Structure 1
Amino acid sequence: MTDPAHETPLFPLNTVLFPGGRLGLKVFEARYLDLMSACLREQRPFGVVALRSGQEVRQGDDAVAFETIGVLAELVEVDSLRPGILQVRGRGTQRFQVEQSHQQADGLWLARTRLLPDDEPVAPAASQHETVRGLANAIASLKAQGAEPFDAPYHFELAGWVANRWCEILPIPLAAKQKLMELPDPLARLALVDEFLRGKGVVK
Protein backbone atom coordinates (compact mmCIF):
# COMPACT_ATOMS: atom_id res chain seq x y z
CA MET A 1 0.00 0.00 0.00
CA THR A 2 1.14 3.54 -0.73
CA ASP A 3 1.21 6.08 2.09
CA PRO A 4 -1.63 8.59 1.35
CA ALA A 5 0.48 11.37 2.90
CA HIS A 6 2.92 10.98 0.00
CA GLU A 7 0.28 10.81 -2.71
CA THR A 8 -1.27 13.65 -4.69
CA PRO A 9 -5.05 14.06 -4.39
CA LEU A 10 -6.59 14.52 -7.85
CA PHE A 11 -9.49 16.67 -9.04
CA PRO A 12 -10.61 15.44 -12.50
CA LEU A 13 -12.28 18.30 -14.40
CA ASN A 14 -13.64 19.16 -17.83
CA THR A 15 -10.86 21.69 -18.22
CA VAL A 16 -7.10 21.85 -18.72
CA LEU A 17 -5.19 23.83 -16.12
CA PHE A 18 -1.94 25.44 -17.28
CA PRO A 19 1.02 26.48 -15.12
CA GLY A 20 0.37 30.06 -14.06
CA GLY A 21 -3.32 29.75 -14.91
CA ARG A 22 -6.38 30.54 -12.85
CA LEU A 23 -8.74 27.91 -11.51
CA GLY A 24 -12.23 28.68 -10.25
CA LEU A 25 -14.32 25.97 -8.58
CA LYS A 26 -17.62 25.68 -6.80
CA VAL A 27 -17.15 22.75 -4.44
CA PHE A 28 -20.06 20.88 -2.86
CA GLU A 29 -19.25 17.16 -2.96
CA ALA A 30 -18.14 15.79 0.43
CA ARG A 31 -14.92 14.28 -0.96
CA TYR A 32 -13.80 17.65 -2.36
CA LEU A 33 -14.97 19.68 0.65
CA ASP A 34 -12.77 17.41 2.76
CA LEU A 35 -9.94 17.81 0.24
CA MET A 36 -10.09 21.62 0.30
CA SER A 37 -10.08 21.59 4.11
CA ALA A 38 -7.03 19.30 4.15
CA CYS A 39 -5.19 21.40 1.54
CA LEU A 40 -5.86 24.58 3.53
CA ARG A 41 -4.84 23.01 6.81
CA GLU A 42 -1.69 21.37 5.48
CA GLN A 43 -0.77 24.10 2.95
CA ARG A 44 -0.48 21.50 0.22
CA PRO A 45 -1.56 21.52 -3.44
CA PHE A 46 -3.86 19.15 -5.27
CA GLY A 47 -3.62 17.88 -8.82
CA VAL A 48 -5.95 18.90 -11.65
CA VAL A 49 -6.32 16.37 -14.47
CA ALA A 50 -8.57 16.68 -17.52
CA LEU A 51 -11.33 14.13 -17.92
CA ARG A 52 -11.24 11.82 -20.92
CA SER A 53 -14.62 10.31 -20.03
CA GLY A 54 -17.08 10.43 -17.19
CA GLN A 55 -18.52 13.31 -15.18
CA GLU A 56 -17.05 15.81 -12.73
CA VAL A 57 -19.86 15.13 -10.26
CA ARG A 58 -20.01 11.57 -8.99
CA GLN A 59 -22.86 9.59 -10.56
CA GLY A 60 -23.21 6.36 -8.61
CA ASP A 61 -20.60 3.88 -9.80
CA ASP A 62 -20.01 5.57 -13.18
CA ALA A 63 -16.40 5.09 -14.26
CA VAL A 64 -14.17 8.02 -15.11
CA ALA A 65 -10.96 8.17 -17.10
CA PHE A 66 -8.55 11.08 -16.94
CA GLU A 67 -5.30 12.27 -18.51
CA THR A 68 -2.03 11.14 -16.97
CA ILE A 69 -0.38 14.57 -17.18
CA GLY A 70 -1.87 17.32 -15.07
CA VAL A 71 -0.95 20.49 -13.20
CA LEU A 72 -0.70 21.09 -9.47
CA ALA A 73 -3.02 23.77 -8.10
CA GLU A 74 -2.32 25.87 -5.02
CA LEU A 75 -5.20 27.45 -3.15
CA VAL A 76 -5.39 31.23 -3.38
CA GLU A 77 -8.79 31.94 -1.86
CA VAL A 78 -11.60 29.90 -0.33
CA ASP A 79 -15.00 31.41 0.50
CA SER A 80 -18.01 29.72 2.03
CA LEU A 81 -21.03 30.69 -0.08
CA ARG A 82 -23.38 28.86 2.29
CA PRO A 83 -23.16 25.70 4.41
CA GLY A 84 -21.79 22.84 2.32
CA ILE A 85 -20.66 24.98 -0.64
CA LEU A 86 -17.23 26.52 -1.16
CA GLN A 87 -16.10 28.96 -3.84
CA VAL A 88 -12.45 28.18 -4.51
CA ARG A 89 -9.84 30.10 -6.45
CA GLY A 90 -6.59 28.35 -7.28
CA ARG A 91 -3.48 28.85 -9.38
CA GLY A 92 -1.67 26.33 -11.55
CA THR A 93 1.95 25.70 -10.61
CA GLN A 94 3.85 22.68 -11.95
CA ARG A 95 3.05 19.86 -14.33
CA PHE A 96 3.15 16.27 -13.12
CA GLN A 97 2.88 12.75 -14.50
CA VAL A 98 0.55 10.23 -12.87
CA GLU A 99 2.47 7.01 -12.37
CA GLN A 100 -0.15 5.09 -10.40
CA SER A 101 -3.62 6.04 -9.15
CA HIS A 102 -6.39 4.55 -7.06
CA GLN A 103 -9.81 5.68 -5.83
CA GLN A 104 -10.82 5.82 -2.18
CA ALA A 105 -14.16 4.62 -0.88
CA ASP A 106 -15.45 8.21 -0.79
CA GLY A 107 -14.60 8.62 -4.49
CA LEU A 108 -11.46 10.74 -4.11
CA TRP A 109 -8.61 9.82 -6.44
CA LEU A 110 -5.06 9.63 -5.09
CA ALA A 111 -1.97 9.19 -7.23
CA ARG A 112 1.73 8.57 -7.03
CA THR A 113 3.13 11.33 -9.24
CA ARG A 114 6.37 12.58 -10.72
CA LEU A 115 6.95 16.30 -11.20
CA LEU A 116 7.83 17.44 -14.71
CA PRO A 117 10.32 20.23 -15.48
CA ASP A 118 9.13 23.82 -15.68
CA ASP A 119 9.31 25.56 -19.03
CA GLU A 120 12.72 26.90 -19.96
CA PRO A 121 12.68 30.72 -19.60
CA VAL A 122 13.10 31.41 -23.31
CA ALA A 123 11.92 34.48 -25.20
CA PRO A 124 9.43 34.28 -28.08
CA ALA A 125 11.03 34.12 -31.52
CA ALA A 126 11.09 37.32 -33.57
CA SER A 127 8.52 35.79 -35.94
CA GLN A 128 6.12 35.37 -32.97
CA HIS A 129 6.12 39.00 -31.82
CA GLU A 130 2.77 39.70 -33.48
CA THR A 131 1.27 36.89 -31.40
CA VAL A 132 2.74 38.46 -28.26
CA ARG A 133 1.25 41.85 -29.22
CA GLY A 134 -2.03 40.13 -30.00
CA LEU A 135 -2.18 38.74 -26.46
CA ALA A 136 -1.49 42.18 -24.99
CA ASN A 137 -4.33 43.59 -27.11
CA ALA A 138 -6.66 40.76 -26.03
CA ILE A 139 -5.90 41.47 -22.37
CA ALA A 140 -6.57 45.19 -22.86
CA SER A 141 -9.86 44.41 -24.61
CA LEU A 142 -10.98 42.06 -21.84
CA LYS A 143 -10.04 44.59 -19.17
CA ALA A 144 -12.09 47.23 -20.97
CA GLN A 145 -15.06 44.86 -20.61
CA GLY A 146 -14.42 44.55 -16.88
CA ALA A 147 -12.71 41.15 -17.05
CA GLU A 148 -9.34 40.35 -15.51
CA PRO A 149 -8.40 37.09 -17.24
CA PHE A 150 -4.89 36.49 -15.89
CA ASP A 151 -2.96 37.00 -12.69
CA ALA A 152 -0.24 39.64 -12.67
CA PRO A 153 2.63 39.94 -13.22
CA TYR A 154 2.45 39.43 -16.96
CA HIS A 155 5.44 37.79 -18.64
CA PHE A 156 5.29 38.73 -22.31
CA GLU A 157 9.03 38.04 -22.42
CA LEU A 158 8.50 34.31 -21.85
CA ALA A 159 7.36 32.06 -24.68
CA GLY A 160 5.75 29.54 -22.33
CA TRP A 161 3.72 32.15 -20.46
CA VAL A 162 2.43 33.70 -23.70
CA ALA A 163 1.53 30.30 -25.16
CA ASN A 164 -0.24 29.19 -21.98
CA ARG A 165 -2.35 32.33 -21.71
CA TRP A 166 -3.43 32.07 -25.35
CA CYS A 167 -4.32 28.41 -24.83
CA GLU A 168 -6.59 29.36 -21.93
CA ILE A 169 -8.71 31.79 -23.94
CA LEU A 170 -8.73 30.20 -27.41
CA PRO A 171 -11.83 28.22 -28.42
CA ILE A 172 -10.02 24.95 -29.11
CA PRO A 173 -11.03 21.41 -28.07
CA LEU A 174 -10.08 20.08 -24.65
CA ALA A 175 -7.89 17.36 -26.21
CA ALA A 176 -5.94 20.00 -28.17
CA LYS A 177 -5.40 22.09 -25.04
CA GLN A 178 -4.16 18.99 -23.25
CA LYS A 179 -1.61 18.22 -25.98
CA LEU A 180 -0.39 21.82 -25.95
CA MET A 181 -0.04 21.83 -22.15
CA GLU A 182 1.95 18.57 -22.30
CA LEU A 183 4.50 19.91 -24.80
CA PRO A 184 7.84 20.25 -22.98
CA ASP A 185 9.20 22.85 -25.43
CA PRO A 186 7.62 26.30 -24.83
CA LEU A 187 8.79 27.61 -28.22
CA ALA A 188 7.12 24.67 -29.99
CA ARG A 189 3.92 25.31 -28.00
CA LEU A 190 3.95 28.98 -28.96
CA ALA A 191 4.70 28.10 -32.59
CA LEU A 192 1.53 25.98 -32.74
CA VAL A 193 -0.50 28.77 -31.16
CA ASP A 194 1.02 31.26 -33.61
CA GLU A 195 0.14 29.01 -36.55
CA PHE A 196 -3.45 28.66 -35.30
CA LEU A 197 -3.87 32.43 -34.84
CA ARG A 198 -2.47 33.18 -38.30
CA GLY A 199 -4.74 30.54 -39.83
CA LYS A 200 -7.75 32.26 -38.22
CA GLY A 201 -6.56 35.71 -39.27
CA VAL A 202 -6.22 36.87 -35.65
CA VAL A 203 -2.62 37.93 -36.27
CA LYS A 204 -0.82 38.57 -39.56
Structure 2
Amino acid sequence: MSLRIFEQRYTRMVKEACGSESGFVICMLNSQGNKDLNEHIYPIGTYVNVVDFNLLDDGLLGVTVEGVRCVRITNIKTEADGLRIGDCEMTAPWEFTATKELLYPMDKKLEEIFKRYPEVNSLYETTNFDDPIWVINRWLELLPVDAEKKQEFLQENDCSKIVQYLSGLVE
Protein backbone atom coordinates (compact mmCIF):
# COMPACT_ATOMS: atom_id res chain seq x y z
CA MET A 1 0.00 0.00 0.00
CA SER A 2 1.26 3.47 -0.85
CA LEU A 3 0.70 6.22 1.70
CA ARG A 4 1.07 10.00 1.54
CA ILE A 5 2.26 11.25 4.90
CA PHE A 6 1.38 14.87 5.64
CA GLU A 7 0.68 15.10 9.37
CA GLN A 8 3.56 15.54 11.82
CA ARG A 9 2.35 12.70 14.03
CA TYR A 10 2.52 10.26 11.12
CA THR A 11 5.91 11.56 10.03
CA ARG A 12 7.12 10.75 13.55
CA MET A 13 5.51 7.32 13.39
CA VAL A 14 7.26 6.48 10.10
CA LYS A 15 10.58 7.85 11.38
CA GLU A 16 10.34 5.73 14.54
CA ALA A 17 9.34 2.66 12.54
CA CYS A 18 12.30 3.06 10.18
CA GLY A 19 14.76 3.96 12.94
CA SER A 20 14.02 0.89 15.01
CA GLU A 21 13.59 -1.42 12.03
CA SER A 22 10.09 -2.19 13.21
CA GLY A 23 6.78 -1.34 11.64
CA PHE A 24 3.46 0.11 12.66
CA VAL A 25 -0.18 -0.88 12.55
CA ILE A 26 -2.82 0.32 10.12
CA CYS A 27 -6.32 0.15 11.54
CA MET A 28 -9.88 0.37 10.29
CA LEU A 29 -12.03 3.07 11.83
CA ASN A 30 -15.50 2.76 13.27
CA SER A 31 -17.47 5.95 12.63
CA GLN A 32 -19.82 5.03 15.50
CA GLY A 33 -17.09 4.75 18.15
CA ASN A 34 -16.17 7.47 20.63
CA LYS A 35 -13.01 9.17 19.34
CA ASP A 36 -12.06 10.63 22.72
CA LEU A 37 -12.01 7.13 24.21
CA ASN A 38 -10.33 5.63 21.11
CA GLU A 39 -13.36 3.43 20.57
CA HIS A 40 -13.39 4.47 16.92
CA ILE A 41 -10.50 2.11 16.21
CA TYR A 42 -11.47 -1.47 15.47
CA PRO A 43 -9.53 -4.07 17.50
CA ILE A 44 -7.95 -5.96 14.55
CA GLY A 45 -5.35 -4.14 12.46
CA THR A 46 -2.54 -4.96 10.09
CA TYR A 47 1.07 -4.77 11.20
CA VAL A 48 3.08 -3.34 8.28
CA ASN A 49 6.73 -2.83 7.47
CA VAL A 50 8.02 0.16 5.53
CA VAL A 51 9.52 -1.19 2.32
CA ASP A 52 10.22 2.10 0.53
CA PHE A 53 9.89 5.84 0.94
CA ASN A 54 10.50 8.91 -1.17
CA LEU A 55 9.79 12.62 -1.42
CA LEU A 56 6.73 13.24 -3.58
CA ASP A 57 6.40 16.05 -6.13
CA ASP A 58 4.18 18.00 -3.73
CA GLY A 59 6.83 17.84 -0.99
CA LEU A 60 5.03 15.20 1.06
CA LEU A 61 6.56 11.96 2.20
CA GLY A 62 5.54 8.92 0.15
CA VAL A 63 5.75 5.61 1.97
CA THR A 64 5.16 2.10 0.66
CA VAL A 65 4.24 -0.47 3.28
CA GLU A 66 3.71 -4.20 3.14
CA GLY A 67 1.26 -6.04 5.39
CA VAL A 68 2.85 -8.66 7.60
CA ARG A 69 0.24 -10.01 10.04
CA CYS A 70 -3.04 -9.21 11.68
CA VAL A 71 -2.76 -7.95 15.24
CA ARG A 72 -5.21 -7.39 18.08
CA ILE A 73 -4.87 -3.89 19.48
CA THR A 74 -5.61 -3.03 23.12
CA ASN A 75 -4.87 -0.19 25.57
CA ILE A 76 -4.89 2.57 22.95
CA LYS A 77 -3.58 5.90 24.21
CA THR A 78 -3.38 9.24 22.45
CA GLU A 79 -0.03 11.02 22.73
CA ALA A 80 0.37 14.81 22.92
CA ASP A 81 0.76 15.18 19.14
CA GLY A 82 -2.35 13.07 18.47
CA LEU A 83 -0.54 9.87 17.50
CA ARG A 84 -2.30 6.85 18.90
CA ILE A 85 -0.27 4.00 20.34
CA GLY A 86 -1.39 0.72 21.82
CA ASP A 87 -0.43 -2.78 22.76
CA CYS A 88 -0.44 -5.25 19.90
CA GLU A 89 -0.58 -9.01 19.94
CA MET A 90 -0.12 -11.05 16.79
CA THR A 91 -3.21 -13.09 15.97
CA ALA A 92 -3.08 -16.65 14.75
CA PRO A 93 -3.24 -16.81 10.95
CA TRP A 94 -6.35 -18.30 9.38
CA GLU A 95 -6.30 -21.97 8.61
CA PHE A 96 -7.84 -23.36 5.44
CA THR A 97 -8.79 -26.96 6.10
CA ALA A 98 -11.18 -27.50 3.19
CA THR A 99 -10.19 -28.74 -0.22
CA LYS A 100 -8.93 -26.18 -2.72
CA GLU A 101 -11.92 -26.96 -4.96
CA LEU A 102 -14.09 -25.08 -2.45
CA LEU A 103 -12.50 -21.87 -3.73
CA TYR A 104 -13.65 -22.44 -7.29
CA PRO A 105 -14.63 -20.14 -9.07
CA MET A 106 -13.26 -17.50 -6.67
CA ASP A 107 -9.66 -18.28 -7.55
CA LYS A 108 -10.25 -18.20 -11.31
CA LYS A 109 -12.34 -15.02 -11.20
CA LEU A 110 -9.67 -13.29 -9.13
CA GLU A 111 -7.05 -14.32 -11.67
CA GLU A 112 -9.24 -12.82 -14.42
CA ILE A 113 -9.47 -9.53 -12.51
CA PHE A 114 -5.69 -9.42 -12.15
CA LYS A 115 -5.25 -10.01 -15.89
CA ARG A 116 -7.90 -7.50 -16.91
CA TYR A 117 -6.84 -4.70 -14.53
CA PRO A 118 -3.07 -4.10 -14.53
CA GLU A 119 -3.46 -1.48 -11.79
CA VAL A 120 -4.69 -4.21 -9.42
CA ASN A 121 -1.96 -6.60 -10.49
CA SER A 122 0.69 -3.93 -9.92
CA LEU A 123 -0.25 -3.74 -6.23
CA TYR A 124 1.39 -7.09 -5.59
CA GLU A 125 4.99 -8.06 -6.16
CA THR A 126 3.95 -11.68 -6.65
CA THR A 127 0.64 -13.46 -7.04
CA ASN A 128 -0.32 -16.80 -5.59
CA PHE A 129 -3.68 -17.96 -6.93
CA ASP A 130 -2.93 -21.50 -5.67
CA ASP A 131 -2.84 -20.34 -2.04
CA PRO A 132 -6.39 -20.28 -0.63
CA ILE A 133 -5.53 -17.79 2.12
CA TRP A 134 -3.89 -15.43 -0.38
CA VAL A 135 -6.99 -15.61 -2.61
CA ILE A 136 -9.37 -14.98 0.30
CA ASN A 137 -7.36 -11.99 1.52
CA ARG A 138 -7.25 -10.42 -1.96
CA TRP A 139 -11.03 -10.71 -2.29
CA LEU A 140 -11.47 -9.19 1.15
CA GLU A 141 -9.26 -6.27 0.08
CA LEU A 142 -10.92 -5.74 -3.29
CA LEU A 143 -14.61 -6.09 -2.48
CA PRO A 144 -16.47 -3.18 -0.90
CA VAL A 145 -17.12 -4.99 2.37
CA ASP A 146 -17.76 -2.62 5.27
CA ALA A 147 -15.23 -2.47 8.09
CA GLU A 148 -17.56 -4.02 10.66
CA LYS A 149 -18.09 -7.10 8.48
CA LYS A 150 -14.33 -7.36 7.79
CA GLN A 151 -13.63 -7.17 11.52
CA GLU A 152 -16.15 -9.95 12.12
CA PHE A 153 -14.30 -12.18 9.64
CA LEU A 154 -10.85 -11.24 10.92
CA GLN A 155 -11.75 -12.24 14.47
CA GLU A 156 -12.59 -15.80 13.40
CA ASN A 157 -10.06 -18.59 14.00
CA ASP A 158 -10.59 -20.02 10.54
CA CYS A 159 -11.79 -18.68 7.22
CA SER A 160 -14.90 -20.83 6.71
CA LYS A 161 -17.37 -17.95 7.20
CA ILE A 162 -15.53 -15.66 4.80
CA VAL A 163 -15.36 -18.45 2.19
CA GLN A 164 -19.14 -18.90 2.43
CA TYR A 165 -19.70 -15.15 2.20
CA LEU A 166 -17.34 -14.69 -0.74
CA SER A 167 -18.77 -17.70 -2.58
CA GLY A 168 -22.19 -16.07 -2.51
CA LEU A 169 -20.82 -12.75 -3.78
CA VAL A 170 -18.53 -14.08 -6.48
CA GLU A 171 -20.99 -16.53 -8.01
TM-score, with structure 1 as normaliser: 0.73
1:69 corresponds in structure 2 to 44
Residue among 82, 97, 106 paired with 1:107: 82
Q: CA offset at residue 49 of structure 1?
A: 1.1
Q: What is the Cα deviation at residue 71 of structure 1?
A: 1.1
What's the % identity of the aligned pairs?
A: 21
Structure 1 gaps, min length 5: 1-22, 55-61, 199-204
Distance 1:190 1:167 in 2: 10
Q: Higher relative contact order by CA 8 Å / sep ≥ 6: 1 or 2?
A: 1
Q: 1:50 aligns with which of 28, 43, 48?
A: 28
Is the aligned partner of 1:27 residue 2:2?
no
| Match 1:192 to one of 162, 165, 171 | 165
SS of the residue corresponding to residue 53 of structure 1 reads: coil
1:57 match: none
SS in 2 for 1:176: helix
Number of matched pairs:
167
> Offset of 1:142 from its aligned partner?
0.6
**What is aligned with 1:168?**
141
Aligned 1:17-166 pairs, distance under 5 A: 23-53=1-31, 63=36, 65-81=40-56, 85-120=60-95, 125-143=100-118, 146-166=119-139
**AA matched with 1:46:** F
What residue identity is the alignment partner of 1:42? Answer: S
- Do 2:115 and 2:121's aligned partners in 1 also have CA atoms closer than 8 Å? no
* Deviation per residue, 1:12-39 (Å, 9 max, x gap): xxxxxxxxxxx22111111111111111
For residues 132-189 of structure 1, what are the alpha-carbon distances to aligned partners after superposition, in whole Å with 9 as ceiling and x for unaligned? 100101100112xx55354132222222211110111112323223333333313432
Q: What letter corresponds to residue 134 of structure 2 in structure 1?
A: W
